[in-house]
Structure 1
Amino acid sequence: MKNIYKKVACVLALGLTLASCEDYLNDVPKGAKSPETLADYEAFLRDEYNTRLDILGANHVLNDQFVTAASLTSNRLYNANYMWDENADRIALKVSDESYYYTAYSGISAFNLIIENALSTTKATEQEQRVVWAQAKIMRAMNFFYVTNFYADTYAASTAATKLSVPLITSANINAPSKQVTIQEMYDFILNDIKEALPYLPKVSQTALHPNLGAGYAFYSRVYLQMSNYTEALKYADLALAENNKLFDWVAFYEANKAIIDVPNSYTTAVSPMGYNNVENYMFRHGSSRSLGREPSIPVERAARFETGDLRLKSRWKIRTVGADTYYYSILSGMYNFGGLTTVEVYLIKAECLARDNKISEALAILNAIRKTRILPASYQDIATTDKTTALNAIFKTKNNEFVQALIPYADARRLNAEGVYKVSFNKVVNGTTYTLKSDSHLWTSPFPQGATQNPGNGTLTQNVAK
């Protein structure tokens, strides 16, 4: 973990124009700036690179992101995840592929720095200090949730107190001790961070990058859903929707842009509506990329899992063949909220909670209200059923398509597989060979990178998966 902090310290130093990475708070070079004011610390929350959440490995396992034949040949780790190779030793292959781990912990260190110092900063009222402190708490909790749901088993009440999760680090000091806590301890910590932050979160935040009260409630709901605590998940979903309940109208977007979208063999279209100011956003966070441009392509098999007439597919990707590869190529440009929190996620959490409580008609009313803003009217039909399993599977399908290339489908699949009732598995045929991702595959948990296990800093780190 020591190497993590050296990298983190450099990132933080760059953000504050400091020259020293070893003691950037105590040894300020001449002409450099040491963080003192609240604005100095709040600037870390605006650092879009340091606050992104990289989930490339999860996208590969789910096949939510297309990987070219050339990349599969040259990158054995990509091949292991994307082709569901149960025999591959991903631990041996995880030498340099460490971006998710270090990006997440770099963010955690920045948030720790804010939490440690925000309440004693200058040029701010106590209320202003508390707002930034609370926002850092939410973002730190989000990072811990992400790494826990990538590098550790999913939460299960029967095993959470004994299975290990990830290192819990609460100081920005590069020599701070770390402890690989249990899954239960990590979730308790995450929930406590949210609880402490909620009283101080503003109803309207400074920018789309800053958590507001709706974001706090929405994240609370997400965490409780992952713990299969549907009562609390529903409670906080309702509170979040009381703060913001807007849905973006993909039908209207398509109608306004179809003259460009529907041009055959054209892959240049409108600006993505999924950016900072989308009406569904509680808060915006980048995913695996923060560049202004196109979304990653998706496999043909993945595109087939969208509903007929789904304008999220039709408006965002178009089938294309380049050399030996055929895939759905991104046709929008812009920013994408793959790491943040949105109203549609909260609506779908609420729908699942209601369905699990056998309130099927209420759950489907929410689901269909969402689908009406996503499905071409000529293709749209209400989903109508009294069967709980049918209703839940419809909710899961819409949610997976809504959040393709975000961590949410991956976390949900792991949760459902642990529950054992609505298991998630996949099959695909490539060049005549059938490949399978089983619901109980070890591929659902990523190994820690070798750089972390071989140099854990002031702590220890045990792999959570055999290979």
Structure 2
Amino acid sequence: MKINYKAIVLAATALIFAGCKKFVEIKTQGNLVPNQTINYRYLLNNTSGFETNPNLFDFAADDINITDATQMTSLSGSAFYYYYVASYTWQPVFYVAGSTNENDLNWNASYAVILNCNTIINELPGSDGTQQDKDALIAEAKVHRADAYLTLVNAYAKPFNASTAGTDLGLPLLTVQTVSQSLKRASVQQVYTQIIDDLTSAIPALPNTQAYNTLPSKASAYAELARCYLYMNNYAEANRYADLALALRNTLNDLAAYTATSTNYPRRIADPEVILSKITNGGTMAYTPTAFKLSDELLSLLGTADQRYNLFTVPGATIGSGYTGRFFYKERFVGETRNVGPSVPEMMLIKAEYYARNNDAANAMLWVNRLREKRFKAADYVAMTATSPADALTKVIEERRREFFGRMLRWWDMRRLKSEPAFQKTYTRTFNGTTYTLAPNSNRYVFPIAESLRQLNPELEANP
């Protein structure tokens, strides 16, 4: 029997789109023979089937602040942007059942990634290649699957809390292809356990690095584990895996070497800072009306001497007429969708946070400054110092905001830090004359599962 994998992906996406619980067993006539290992290499090389992450995180984070009437009017004028406004204002419903945009394309795209991974993991053992080749391809698929579940659990489930993770609602945990499979949500703990198992079991068969950042490697798996453990509040393990990742990949781009008109900034696929390339669903958000207007608080943190300000932000007039303030511009500066996958700077700041939380302010600032040295022109650089471990931790979190604005992780940080007194804050924003509030104990830190999905699958429990 022959299988057309393009048809598989399209069929899977359509069925997930409809919320069908039987999408996990799809066979279609076509051109690629499933018992040939090389065909699974071709499938993995189709990066569009594995690179997608949700795009909701940046809308909800405090990095952006939509205040221009022109942008608000444009975003409010089309049902297509309802999910953007709903996530920006922390609404209980993002996708209204029965509307023209009732489907959560972020959920669908991530589960399509998981389906592709499951196809490889489940079918490859029966193919005709060498065991070494099969193990390597299965390992790549496991890294992609782990990344998909890590982003999904940080969107649609509560932040990891060791005391409640065993009972907190997680996600439908789909790892095998069967005729029918339950969409009942596994616990948050079960999801994280699956992520860790996928990554640790993948490591032995992966190469240290790959020719392209879209292909998982040992460095990728270590970096994903470091990210995973950070969001489990397990800072020792996060630091350990960050070390392992940095032993294989540790180059930083020197932003002092670029100007606002530079055209040679490295592309995502070959950027030495990128450990595993991942992009947001829907592509670039750098144009009207979806461009990110940066909050005054973030801009104050950045300061005008920082090359991240000079290269990756622009005046509102550059974006469009009626736009004021400063806007996120990295996507247009680089010429492609931003990377939200793990990176060298992320590993460095994970290590800095580990030291700060272990009463070692000096080493925390050492890692922060190793990054900052590459973020300023020599004449503008001043080493950062901390007066205490608590002060060091504050500075590490602030540096994470400077480094990752517009790239997903600020919302993840807001979620994990909301229970720590030093970082607790009630957020407010006003949109079209209505003020919205996000309190530290709010259920709105968890994105709602689309009503249409739950109507088709009653076992898929709603978030509070």
TM-score normalized with structure 2 length: 0.84
Alignment of 1:256-267 (within 5 A): 257-258=259-260, 260=261
Q: Let me know the Cα RMSD of the aligned residues.
A: 3.0
Equivalent of 1:183, from 178, 188, 191?
Answer: 188
> Which of the numbers 284, 292, 316 marks the counterpart of 2:277?
284
2:246 is equivalent to residue 219 of structure 1: no
What TM-score do you get using the length of structure 1 for normalisation? 0.84
Structure 2 partner of 1:105 = 111
- Unpaired runs of at least 5, structure 1: 1-5, 14-20, 261-268
Asked if 1 retains the 8 angstrom alpha-carbon contact of 2:345 and 2:371, the reply is yes
For 1:22 and 1:351, how far apart are their aligned partners in 2?
42
Q: SS of 2:143's equivalent?
A: helix
**Change over 3 Å in CA distance of 1:455–1:198 after alignment to 2:** same
Q: Which amino acid aligns with 1:69?
A: M
Match in the other structure for 1:138 = 143
Alignment of 1:42-191 (within 5 A): 42-64=41-63, 68-74=71-77, 75-84=81-90, 89-90=93-94, 92=96, 96-122=102-128, 124-173=129-178, 175-191=180-196
1:352 aligns with 2:346: no
Contact 1:71 1:78 in 2 (8 A): no
CA distance in 2 between counterparts of 1:235 and 1:423 reads 28
Q: Deviations over 1:31-62 (max 9, x none)?
A: x3333322212233222322233432211111
Structure 1 CA distance for aligned equivalents of residues 236 and 90 of structure 2: 35
Deviates more, 1:327-336 or 1:348-357: 327-336
Q: What SS does the aligned partner of 2:48 have?
A: coil
Contact 1:52–1:103 (CA under 8 A) maintained in structure 2 = no
Distance apart, 1:12 and its partner CA: 8.1
- 2:441 aligned with 1:440: yes
- Using the TM superposition, give the Cα deviation of residue 434 of structure 1 relative to its aligned residue in structure 2, in angstroms: 6.1
Tell me if structure 1 keeps the 8 A contact 2:53–2:148.
no
Residue aligning to 1:35: 34
Q: 1:180 to 1:36 in 2, by over 3 A?
A: same
Alpha-carbon spacing, 1:429–1:449, altered in 2? closer, same or farther (3 Å): closer
Residue by residue, what CA displacement relative to the aligned partner does 1:243-297 show, whole Å, maximum 9, x if unpaired?
Answer: 1121111111x2xx35x3xxxxxxxx63543521111122212223446987973
Name structure 2 gaps, 5 residues minimum: 1-6, 15-22
CA distance in 2, matches of 1:451, 1:303: 39
- Shift of residue 329, structure 1, vs aligned partner: 5.7
Question: 2: CA distance between counterparts of 1:153 and 1:394?
Answer: 26
1:247 aligns with 2:249: no
CA–CA separation in structure 1 for the residues paired with 2:265 and 2:349: 22
Matched, 1:209 2:205: no
Counterpart in 2 of 1:397? 398
**SS, match of residue 34 in structure 1:** coil
Structure 2 Cα separation of the partners of residues 294 and 160 of structure 1: 39
**Change in CA separation of 1:72 and 1:297 when aligned onto 2, cut-off 3 Å:** closer
User: Contact 1:69 / 1:324 at 8 angstroms: preserved in 2?
Assistant: no
* Residues 155 and 183 in structure 1, CA contact (< 8 A), matched pair in contact too: yes
One-letter code aligned to 1:315: L
Distance in 1, Cα, partners of 2:270 & 2:118: 28
Q: Tell me what 1:3 maps to.
A: none
Partner of 2:414, secondary structure, is helix
Per the TM alignment, residue 114 of structure 1 is displaced from its structure 2 partner at its CA by: 0.6
Aligned to 2:384: 383
Structure 1 counterpart SS, 2:109: helix
Contact 1:224/1:230, CA 8 A, preserved across alignment: yes
CA distance in 2, matches of 1:303, 1:62: 14
Aligned partner of residue 168 in structure 1, secondary structure: coil
Q: Is the 8 A contact 2:64 2:294 kept in 1?
A: no
Pair 373,192 (structure 1): closer, same or farther in 2 beyond 3 Å: same
Question: Is the Cα contact below 8 Å between 1:66 and 1:299 reproduced in 2?
Answer: yes
Contact 1:293 1:334 in 2 (8 A): no
Tell me, yes or no, if the aligned pair for 2:214 and 2:277 is still in contact at 8 Å: yes
- Which residue is equivalent to 2:19? none
Q: Check conservation: 1:48, 1:285, Cα contact below 8 A.
A: no
Distance 2:247 2:239 in 1: 12
In structure 2, the residue corresponding to 1:332 is in which secondary structure? helix
Equivalent pairs counted in the alignment come to: 433
Match of 2:412 in 1: 411
Q: Which residue of 2 aligns with 1:263?
A: none
Shift of the 138–54 alpha-carbon distance from structure 1 to 2, 3 Å rule, reads: closer
CA distance 1:63–1:50, shift in 2 (3 Å): farther
Instruction: Sort the Cα spacing of 1:366 and 1:152 in 2 relative to 1 into closer, same or farther, 3 A.
Output: same
Q: Deviations over 1:50-108 (max 9, x none)?
A: 223343221111154676212432344433322346xx644647952511100000000
Report the secondary structure of 1:318's partner residue: strand
Pair 198,329 (structure 1): closer, same or farther in 2 beyond 3 Å: closer
Partners of 2:172 and 2:157 lie apart in 1 by 11
CA contact (8 A) 1:80 1:90 kept: yes
> Which of 290, 299, 304 pairs up with 2:293?
299
Aligned to 2:306: 310
Q: Percent of counterpart pairs with the same letter?
A: 26
Are the counterparts in 1 of residues 245 and 347 from structure 2 also a CA contact under 8 Å? Answer: yes
